[in-house]
Amino acid sequence: MEAQFLKELPTLLYELEAAWSHALEPASPPSALDGFIHRAHSLAGTSGTLGQPALGRHTKEIECLAERLRQTEGPVRSELAARISARIRMLKPQSPQVAEGQETAEEDGAALSGSSRTKTADGQAPCLLLIENDPRVAAELSEQLGHFGWDVVRCARTQLDRMLDARRPVAIISDEILTEGHSSDPRLGPSTQRLATHTPVIIVSDRWDWDSRLAAVRTGADAYLTRPLDIHRLADLLDKLTGEQPQDAYRVLILDDEARSGDYYAEVLRGAGMHAVAISEPRRLLDSLNEVNPELILMDLHMPDCNGIEAARIVRQDERYASVPIVFLSGESDRQRQLSAMGTGADDFLTKPIGDTYLVSAVELRIARFRSLTALIRQDSLTGLLNRIAFDLQVEAETSRASRSGSPLVLAMLDIDHFKRINDTYGHPVGDRVIKSLAQLLRKRLRRYDIIGRYGGEEFTILMPDTPLAAAEKVLNELREQFSLLHLSSVGDQFHCTFSAGLAALDDHPSQELTAVADAALYEAKRLGRNRVVCADTGIG
């Protein structure tokens, strides 16, 4: 059924657009809009059922806007119609894969070629501007940062102003050497100060003294590093200064028996960049929890068939959602009743009517706190990746999703080669830096929706949704080569590391055996000599 739906999808999208065009005609009867709403409702439901949840959510938004349009007159009606038209234009060029929620082909290609970074608003790839006198140092620094996914553009001091007019870098790295006796007047002063008002500036210098650092501060520099330069520390710093750690949209599930109210709140939250889904029937709550995986549940207190207190208790019965914030949103004004309701497992109570700005702020604050607390539980303290327990939970969820939709999925197990020798030779702090370096590389080079974990010690795991085995093997081999080129250092001594990897595809193995099969393939890669990638179906039969 899924395959047939994907085959018919272009026709369904064309018919939806045609129905909207008919509804917009001045002479069209009210039934034209009703027909469009019916088509949108049908497509939204079918998409969610047949493995296209992102398309389903998008079409549901169109349906909700059209329902509001049917009830609205005056200037607001024109605004709603424009918003519906814009959303339909977004649907028209999409392939089924994009509608399913995957990245664009361009971004998938970037993952294969070793660049997972998005473009800037002007359509250019984000770049680092490097000002370095020594061509040899500049070439090496460009190469090493390139392994972490950065596009490095070298620039002479005399070209800085012209470069800033032509292209806005995400950060600048300068070898600014302060003139003796003129620490308050560095040679790059005017240009650096101009840039510092918009873009992070990192000064790299041979000097450690107070006057040099003070001069860097006075030019507006954000950081000051000394040689010999630790490339991994620089990569960490660039992540912090440029915000190169994109956040997924906040996920909110709304339960309100008044469908118009729920749809309105969802639209307000979507306008603030959140992924919000509204339902009006408590019986749909369990399915919606699995589909949305909410980070906050906004729930009405007084509902006819099942009140909010009962619905909250049902949510808390599932340990996966035991800590997800539940906020009652109700016209109940009696403070004692509010407190009694919160005593059943809810986290807060918001009183209707509520302003849009206050609603957005209240939801954002609670989800931000939820994410912070969740990160402490789910993340590995050294690398910031998922820990083993959190990763295993993700494997369970993703394999279930992939099995339902019939989409490919690959699990990879990685292990740093000869890691004990590294610890014994250079010490455990250097070993930790090696682990962090591989973690950085994986984060930078893989796609945003790939799931990465540290499984323990020097072992890592990667879950690659919607990825055939051959494509995953290619990506892992590119990562392996890039990691082997990184310059790792200890007290002036440089060395290189490699890793081995084993891959297993869900198409070829039961979901409950996927991790064990990938681990066996990793063992085979080690047995064959290390520094290689082995696929379970070809490497170990």
Q: What is the b/e burial string over 160-175, where b = at least 16 CB atoms within 10 angstroms of the residue's CB? A: beebbeebbbbbbbbb
| CB 129, CB 151: distance < 8 Å | no
CATH class entry, domain 127-242: alpha beta
Which residue, 232, 204, 230, is CA-closest to 147? 232
| CB 463, CB 99: distance < 8 Å | no
Which residue, 174, 155, 225, 235, is CA-closest to 486? 235
- Which homologous superfamily does the CATH classification assign to the domain defined by 388-539? Reverse transcriptase/Diguanylate cyclase domain (3.30.70.270)
Question: How many Cα atoms occupy the beta-carbon half-sphere of 455 within 13 Å?
Answer: 20
| CB 249, CB 339: distance < 8 Å | no
Residue 31 neighbours by CB distance under 10 Å: 10
CA distance 525 to 468: 20
Which residue, 497, 501, 504, 494, is CA-closest to 482? 497
CA distance 504 to 515: 8
Mark the ranges of the chain whose per-residue pLDDT is less than 70: 1-2, 48-51, 73-76, 79, 92-126, 165-167, 176-198, 243-247, 332-334, 338, 341, 344-345, 491-492, 538-541
Is 248-378 in the same CATH topology as 1-101? no
| CB 16, CB 85: distance < 8 Å | no
Q: What is the b/e burial string over 204-234, where b = at least 16 CB atoms within 10 angstroms of the residue's CB? A: bbebeeeebbebbeebbbbbbeeeebbbbeb
Residue 416: per-residue pLDDT: 97
Residue 38: per-residue pLDDT: 86
Asked: is 1-101 a CATH 2.60.120 domain? The reply is no
Taken in order 479, 375, 235, 112, is the CA torsion positive or negative?
positive
Residue 251: per-residue pLDDT: 94
The three-state secondary structure class of 346 is coil
The residue type of 320 is R
Residue 487: per-residue pLDDT: 83
Domain locations along the chain: 1-101, 127-242, 248-378, 388-539
- Summarize pLDDT for 70-102 with one digit per residue, the tens: 877 665 577 678 778 878 877 743 433 333 333
| Fold topology of 248-378 | Rossmann fold (3.40.50)
Residue 170: per-residue pLDDT: 84
